[in-house]
Amino acid sequence: FRDVVVSGEEKMVKPDAAIYRLALARFGLTAQEAVFVDDNAANVAGAQALGIESVLFTDAADFRARLVELGLPIAA
């Protein structure tokens, strides 16, 4: 990763839309270019509301499968 966005360091909280917009701006992405991952359904819903592809993390195997479904390059 080049950078991370930590809501506490930014004095923002998820699922407030501002934190997702900040992340998109920081990384120079549109919502359609981003993938958001979280283990909290409310946070996932917040990102989805902005059009960001979102993954609810439940376990490593399901997470890996979902990333493959999205066409992301995942090592074997």
16-35 residue pLDDT tens: 999 999 999 999 999 999 99
The CATH fold assigned to 1-76 is Rossmann fold (3.40.50)
Angstrom distance (rounded) from CA 59 to CA 39 = 9
Q: What is the pTM of this model?
A: 0.88
**Euclidean distance between CA atoms 60 and 49, whole angstroms:** 25
Tokens of 15: 């699922």
pLDDT level of residue 1 (50, 70, 90 thresholds): low
**What residue type is assigned to position 57 of the chain?**
F
pLDDT (tens digit per residue) in 30-69: 999 999 999 999 999 999 999 999 999 999 999 999 999 9
- Reduced to 3 states (helix: H, G, I; strand: E, B; else coil), residue 4 is coil
